[in-house]
Structure 1
Amino acid sequence: MYSGKLRTIGSIFALALAYLLAAFLITGQGMHQQIMPFWAPAGIALGAVLRFGPAVLPGVLLGSLGFNLWIPLTWNESLTLSNVLTALAIGSGAMVQAGVAGALIHRFKAYPLTPESGRSLLTYALIAGPISCLINSTLGTSVVYFVNDAGGSAGFFKDWLLWWGGDSFGAIVLAPVVLALLPERKVDKMRRWPMVIRLVGIVGLVLLLNHLLMLRLDSQLRRDFQRDTRLVEAHLFSAIQKNFADLAYLGQRFSEPGGMTPEQFRDRVAQLTAENPSVRAYSWDPVIQVEQRAAFERATAEMLGEPGYAIYGESLLAEDPLIPVQMVEPRALNRKALGFNLLSLGDRRRSVILAQSSGQPVVTEVLNLTQAPDQPGFLILHPVYRLIGEYGPLHRQRELAGFMVGVFTVSQLLSGSLEGAEINDIRLRLTEQDATMPFFSDFPKEGLDALIGRFELRVGQRNWQVEAMPGPDYMAGNPSGNATDMQLLLVLSAAISTLLVLSMHDRERILMDEVDRQTRSLAYQARHDDLTGLPNRSHLIETIRKRVEDPEVRPFSVLFIDLDRFKLINDSLGHQAGDRMLQKLAQLLVARLPKDSLLFRMGGDEFILLVEGDVQRASIEADRVLIATTLPLDIDDVRVQITASIGISHYPDHGEDLGMLIKHADTAMYRAKAQGKNRYVVYSEEFSDQAFHSFSLEQDLRVALDERQLVLHYQPQFDLETMSLVGTEALVRWNHPTRGLLAPGHFIEMAEETQLIIPLGWQVIELVCDQMKLWEQRGITPPQVAINISPQQLLQIDFVEKLNKLVDGRGVARTSIELEITELMIMQDPDLAMMQLHRLRESGYRIALDDFGTGYSSLDRLKYLPLDRLKIDQAFTRDIGKNPKDEAVILTIIALGRSLGIEVLAEGVETESQLRFLSDHACNSVQGYLLGRPIPAEELCIGV
């Protein structure tokens, strides 16, 4: 809890610092003190709120407050209440603006880096910029314009527009950069850095273009400012000359006989003061001899109506006369000056002496005025002479009558000159020649020194060094300094460029996400089965490899699961039903197996289960699988039950790699099938010997077929009434080169499993036909030969055509060949089997049903089969005289054959009692060891 609060506090101060630094960096990009056209902090605030939530909003207030308190300090000596209130209002507006924008973006899901559509990007741009930025631009401009006249205003609307555009720039362009630099989760750097670089490039390009614009405007501003500075110089010079002219005019009036009355003086001064606001006072200070003092005081008191008028301030030297202030206007504001003796002060005495000796006006040092103690001012002493004598115009003499004194304020002199030049907000700094400190300055603490203009101004005997610089209002009002339109155009260009970059990034993101999804999908598909979703063989290989390579590998077992008679499901219900059954069975097994076991599908109806632990644990899980597989499954409205055979191999006892473990588990699985299916068998080494023997035998059989190592033995068949030879059954033998003569029981089942039974069957038919042709060539009438046909061979579509071609090609009569089929053959595909049998009958072959009574043949179907002979299986014959039930079956088959008109032959007759039983009950024919064993054709006794 506390760590979360600390992180939040840290985020707040980090945001405040970032906001403040960005504000400092962006300062100088505009003409206004507080209104910046590219306000990057707005984007930092919005990005932080979108990333960290509204809890960091106080950081926006702190950063904005710090910057807006720093701005006035660069222009004023101290903060004012209006400065603080302005900073609080702007900071609050920035905080509210970021919060509202973040809430709206979340509400409309208009995230800039992960937009749902192109419309989402447009929504983001509208919310982040034009809509939300109305808040602080309106509040901030109003406060700056109406509450705190910070200067630099180009008018409320333009200030508002520039503020709105600057905040929009930051929010639209910078917020995505912040989000990319502070992602919520680990993302691909190759994806986000190009976007960041592009967006930063947009910012840099905009600032560069603005900088070039500022340089161009600055150059123009310099030219305009230098022109205005010369204009100010001219107006200042004119104003000072006017002051001298006014003093000369007043002095001339006093030099005339009778001078000026106080009323005339007052009226004239009022007129001059109205025309020249820099004037604080005009005074007439006549020269009075010391002996005339009393008379002068009485006359002046009477003239002015000032009974208390008296000269004060004694002259510094005894020989000095008195130069008192006799009249001063405006009198009400300068009454204390009445009677003041100019020669009572050293600086005034020096100015009087200088003016008297030069005959020119003299400007005193700067002084603080009584009327304006906080403003520097100056005095101009203009000597006034009176002409005396009657020597003609060229020989007249003059004497010093007194001084016209003008009192002026520097600030009013300067402001009046600026107003006369119609120039707004030029700051001036005045320094006496050779002085180190200025006596007047309204420069800011930090000025734009590069824009300072300089000129000299001579005032009387003094030289003033004047420095001028433009104030913010001058730059805002100057046509060359008004960059609002171009800067707003740059803001719009930056916003459009940002949307294009974000759109490009979004397309790249979608493309990369699709590539990632496809890659993950392909990787998933490569390691999982498409049908069941289970891990596949590749996944199994990877899993086993990792386990075996693990130094701390633990024992585990491999369970090879094969479904019993699954082919029957596909053949009877269809492959789609078989697929659905595999899916349901996979789901059932996954749900019932423990979490530490892994189920894989190898393909078809084969599965592999990895089980942790010893063989006993594997046996428990094998029982669980066997129980699960026997549960009924509803497939296409058909309830299906199936069983499985499982072989188990154990690591490391039965192998240390996947190949060996699967091989041994597969061997054990086949042993389970051989033992009756629906069971599991744990691998034993003897299974490998048997498997190797079976594999070796298969390979030898393939060679045997190529080298025609098969031979035929023939077992005679006899008619029971005549005991004459009526036919033979061809029985195949394998003359193995090393193992000798092998009976069918050694290789027929293996041939059926490996599909070698088909080429084997055709080779048997060829051997029979060749033998029958050989008998004919020797003049022997061939007996009827019965040939066993495998189900795989009979159910080939082209079997009949191929058989006819082979038999006819050998020149053998089709009627001499009897084809023996089994009940299982008919059960596998009844319709196709029935069609093939009828085609064989139509072709002229005899048809016999072998092993009758051991299967589940339908008697209804039997009556439609084109049969010539039923063969009673030896399983019934061997128990004649021992089992009445077997005898009853035999009698039933004989009766069935007689009623259907089908000959009946009994196999396996080995005793006389069996022969008599069959003869007594009218069986048609027999074969067995009693009458003849299978022998080579050369040993078969056939009459010529």
Structure 2
Amino acid sequence: MYSGIIRTTGLILALALAYFLAALLITGQGMHQQIMPFWAPAGIALGAVLRFGPAVLPGVLLGNFAFNLLIPLTWNESLTFNNALTALAIGTGATVQAGVAAALLHRFKSLPLAPKSGWALLAYVLIAGPLSCLINSTLGTSAVYFINDAGGSAGFFKDWLLWWGGDSFGAIVMAPAVLALFPDKAAVRQRRWPLVIRLLGVVGLVLMLNHLLMLRLDGQLRRDFQRDIRLVEAQIFSAIQKNFADLAYLGQRFAEPGGMSTEAFRERVEQLTRDNPSVRAYSWDPVVEVEDRHAFEQMTGAMLGEPNYTIYGESLMPNDPLIPVQMVEPRALNRKALGFNLLSLGDRRRSVILAQSSGQPVVTEVLNLTQAPDQPGFLILHPVYRLVGENGPLQRKRELTGFMVGVFTVSQLIDGALNGAGITDVRLRLTEQEAETPFYSDFPDAVLDDLIGHFTLQVGQRNWQVEAMPGPDYMAANPSSNATDMQLLLVLSAVISTLLVLSMHDRERVLMDEVDRQTQSLAFQARHDDLTGLPNRSHLMETIRQRVLGPDKQPFAVLFIDLDRFKLINDSLGHQAGDRMLQQLAQLLSRHLPKDTMLFRMGGDEFILLVEGDVQRASVEADRVLIATTLPLDIDDVRVQITASIGISLYPAHGDDLGMLIKHADTAMYRAKAQGKNRYVVYSEEFTDQAFHSFSLEQDLRVALSERQLVLHFQPQFDLKTMELVGTEALVRWNHPTRGLLAPGHFIELAEETQLIIPLGWQVIELACEQMKRWEQQGVDSPCVAINISPQQLLQIDFVEKLNKLVDGQGVTRTSIELEITELMIMQDPDLAMMQLHRLRESGYRIALDDFGTGYSSLDRLKYLPLDRLKIDQAFTRDIGKNPKDEAVILTIIALGRSLGIEVLAEGVETEAQLRFLTQHACNSVQGFLLGRPIPADELFVGV
């Protein structure tokens, strides 16, 4: 009796130890904290109960409970009551699961090493895995999800599914190995080692593949996280820039004559606060001279309805003026700030001086906010200037009139940036440059150093060092972290492999038949498209090879068929509807095409049709396909009609291999699309020549930019009253090493298509600045130089900063540069363009609107543009004396410029009659071939 108890106790302890050690070895096979796939201990438990009986079930509970108590400690967590309760629930579920599975297998005589029949093996797989494993997957996932909530969940269903698959893997694959290691029959004992080796080989292979998968997904997770960090950086930068833009807009309103009323200020701040949760306050702080203090206090008190309004806080230096808070919103939360003098505190005074000297917004040190004492915040001081002087645009000066001040919370700014990026559970830690402690952090106590991203934010005149790390929910939600599908596929593969191993000896014939069937199926699938059943690319390659290498080389045609606007079907009706349409279209074409043709699906909405014969036969079949594709199809109760574009190449005229034939047919197909779609085009060698010419020119242009082959010619601009040189326009030319000097018409359009226009534009600006500096060194008093700016360049968010850095670095005066924009440029993104133009004006540049009258822009928007000059397009100038309507447009533009105080310049003046007309009607200035063609810089001032 005692020996039996001792034996049972030993078995229980041995099972508990084996369960515990197997659980430790299996950790790290998944990427979620709670769920560990390929749960081999489930099979150890089931195998032990099948072999030694239900008396060993306490060992399952003991081993599982011990392991799940240890897990929180490996995550740097303290042991809590919830941890213990979760461990008990999971251990109970594992015990019940092993006992139920063993009872059912005995009941249906489906023991894996002694099946009653072939069907019994299938019953074993179903009972040991999917059926019985529902118990612990449901109980354990519920305990982890609702009791422990350790973080990193991929969602209840996915966690449950992975748990269920992992237990199924262990029960199905490991239980037979345990039974083979501890057999109770001599027959089995004699054959057990090959069986054990095969079963453990399945386990090892699956775990190795899973390990490789985890390594790949871990690398992908790191790359995705770095990508998301760049996105977070961009979102935070964008949010800060939005704050700068809002302050600039409010400051501009206060710089206008008459300033901004308290009601308008309150309404605008309420709108900005609704749109930007990080805002805590906006205030207007004008510059007030000391002698004007009393008058300012009385005027402000009456304007705000605050009779007790006074300026408090004396300036630190005797020569300092006062910069008091005149308006602040929301006033109820910030009433104490009214009248506060920015120059009364040392840090505020330093920020004011820095903002005034740089002309740029300045961010103060991070501080505690009275409006939100539990959150760090910061102030942005935005200097506001107004233009003074009446001697014309070039002589006007800027005068500091005050500061727009914004108060913002760091946490709300970060939350808004993360929400804008669609990213959850990324932890950030922000530190002022050279500071030892962060001013903001939601990092946990335990930090994974290898998953921390770094970047620097330039906020005003300060640098913030930002560290970011993913939280457990981010890691679980990230697509690269979710290996559920692949792991379930590996589980399925392991189950199938185990079933094959177990039935190998007594089901060899069935297995061979199944292998033959699978082989045929795989061979068919390898040569046919899964969606449509049509032959695929591999089949096409075999067919072409046989035709080309065979003894009877008959001519044939390759028709490359591409559906027009098929993406619209997927986007509007969904990809499933698109798949059904492809299936119906494949069936339709197969019915309408002759039997001596072969239709292949290349992928997506692309098909290949092989047609016997010459170009006439190919044209007939192309027409047949075009007609067939336009027949209506019913997709999900929607009547759909579509067209196709077809390119045709001929064998052997257009190639003697599949690659060349498809390439030429594809080229012809794109030509058909360019000609309007729903047609066919036969390949011609000139198509390739044109494509090569465009490609070659693009490559040459890239070399030209790197080798600075671009040169500038300058066309003079003359004042019509004095006929003196008042300006010049920089026009780019390309000094091509073999084609000579190329005008912009040869390469500008290509540069815009290939996005090379941005580096080209910067090189033009750099060349212009270099030339202006040379003129200055030569003692030439050069006039203002006009430079054309592309839309892509203007709409870059950092365009103004880069331009200022380039111009200042060359030592060129900003007021000597006139930046030409077009109406079309403004219409692409009016708000951003308007903001950029005002920033350029504040930076000191002149702004000209080129090709005026051709872009249909709004006159209402025109009055807000900070323009110095309107340029009448030469399309109107050249018809002076010929078309009264064009003359009327010119007179209207001149009158509009005069009323808005904007200079008007006429382009394209080529005749004396045009010059007389413009002079008579008081146009300010002109340029054109009559007075001067574009010439190199060294010829511009010859004889002047």
**Shorter chain as normaliser: what TM range?**
0.3 to 0.5
When Rg is computed on C-alpha atoms for both structures, the one with the higher figure is: 1
TM-score calculated relative to the size of structure 2: 0.46
